[in-house]
Each structure stands twice: as C-alpha cells, then as structure tokens.
Amino acid sequence: MPRRRAQRRSPSPDSEEKAGDKSEADVKSVPQTEESSAALETSESVEIGGKEPLAVLYCAVCSFPPEYCEFGSHLTKCKAWLQESHPDLFEKYYSETALIAKAGALSLEAAKKLEEDSIKKEAKAEAKAESAAKKRASAKVTIKRIERNKRKHITAIHGLEAFDIDLKKAAKVFAQKFATGASVTKNAAGQDEIVVQGDVSDEVEEMLEKGGGALGPGIGGDSGVDYNDTALPREQFKTP
C-alpha cells in the first residue's frame, strides 16, 4: 500500500509543471491540496484507506445491485439469472431466513402490498417489452436518395435507431468509408436521420445488411430494392 502511494505521488508534480504558465490563483491551489492531503492522512486514513474501488455486482437483467432486484420489474428473470450465475448470493437474498428477516421489517400489510406491486410491475414490464419487440420486428430503415441539383445527390438514412445503432458513430463510419460528409440531422418530422453527401444508397444498403463496427450486428434484409429517387421502405427480417 505505501509503495503504491509513493508511485502515485510522482506523476502529480510533473503534471503541475506541464500545466505551465500559471496565474496566481493556480499556484495557490497546489499547496492547498497538499495540505488537505496531509490532514486527511493523519486523521482519517485508517478509516477511508481503501484506495481500490469496490467492485459492485450489477444484475444483468435489471442493472440494479441484486439486493434491489425485488424492487425492479423483472424479479422472476432476475432471480433466475442470480441463481444461475451467483448461487451464493441467491441463497443470501432469497433463502427462507432472508425472507423472514425482510418480512419482519415491514408490517404484513405493507409486505403484501409490495408483493402485489411487484407482480403488477412485472406484468407491465413484460407487456412493454413485448410491444417493443413487436415494434422492432416491424421497424423499417429508409434509405432515400435526394436530388440536390441535376447531378448531385444526398443520401438520407432513417430508422437506424430502432436497431440500437448510435447515429453519430454510424455517420462517422459512412463519412470515413465514402470520404464525404455525413451528419445526423433532424428531418421535417423532427426525427433524427443520417445524411450522407453523394449518392451512396447502394453501398449504404450493403453495409447496413452486413453490419460491423458501429453499425452493429447487421440489420439483415433483402436486396434487390430499386432506388428511383423515392424512398422505399424495406421490410426487415425478424430481429432477435
């Protein structure tokens, strides 16, 4: 522990140096930090000496620490996950004794209410997930070629966000690939779309089907769509 501290110390002076041309206020702040560090080390270092961050386990289903899964909306799934991947913790949180201890903390009525609540919540979440899945399955990506003037075109791609694609990153990928400009803009309906300079609709289609990098796992789809300067919504194959 002390050795680590010494090592960590060393980069600080030279970063101070790098910061270079200081105003008066800056110079002042340096001794201040040193001072407070000294104070803390003598008085409280025993208590908060833990330098390493705590590795907190988060539930793969609801993202809460597993002890809070019971308040989430996927309790059944959370439990299954925990039992599978961390049986010891499952025992800790959901064993008979743990449940009894918990029940003791609440009146019977409140406990009942909580249980009802979590069942309701779960049903709600399920319905929501289902409708989201349906929406995804029917999601369409539109690739539009828009004429800018006689021989110049831009390509607008709309609907990628339904496939969990980061639009900004995707735009960058297109810009790099085609060596043109690409940006995320709002269309007339106020929805985000990617606009690429030049007519790259065929290539974009191909890239999207294949996926990779920022374009995710690929959105699948049929080819043979023809582009007649109009938007042709493309049916999606089902998504996972």
Partner 1 sequence: MFKKFSPSSDISGQSILKSSVQRTIRTNILSHFKVDPDTFEHIWPKKESLVLVKCREHISLYTVNGTPLFFQHFDGPYFPTLKLLHKYPFLLPRVTVDRGAIRFLLGGAHMMCPGFTSAGGELPPPEEALPAGTPVAIMSEGKEHAVGIGITKLSTEEIKSVNKGVGVETVCYLGDDLWNVDTV
The nearer residue to Zn ion, 77 or 145, going by C-beta atoms, is: 77
Tell me the longest C-alpha to C-alpha distance in the chain: 77
The residue ranges that bind partner 1 (CB under 8 A) are 5, 8-9, 11-12, 15, 19, 22-23, 25-26, 29, 32-33, 36-37, 40-41, 44-45, 47-48, 50-56, 62-65, 67-68, 71-72, 101-102, 105-106, 110, 114, 117, 192
Q: Which does 198 bind (CB under 5 to 8 A by kind): partner 1, Zn ion, none?
A: none
Contact stretch for Zn ion (CB under 5 A) within 68-76, 85-93, 123-131, 198-206: 68-76
Cβ atoms of residues 9 and 2 within 8 Å:
no
Is there binding between residue 61 and Zn ion (CB under 5 A)? yes
Q: Which does 114 bind (CB under 5 to 8 A by kind): Zn ion, partner 1, none?
A: partner 1
Is there binding between residue 162 and Zn ion (CB under 5 A)? no
The nearer residue to partner 1, 109 or 226, going by C-beta atoms, is: 109
Name which position in 78, 156, 171, 219 contacts Zn ion (CB under 5 A). Answer: 78
The nearer residue to partner 1, 22 or 135, going by C-beta atoms, is: 22
Is there binding between residue 79 and Zn ion (CB under 5 A)? no
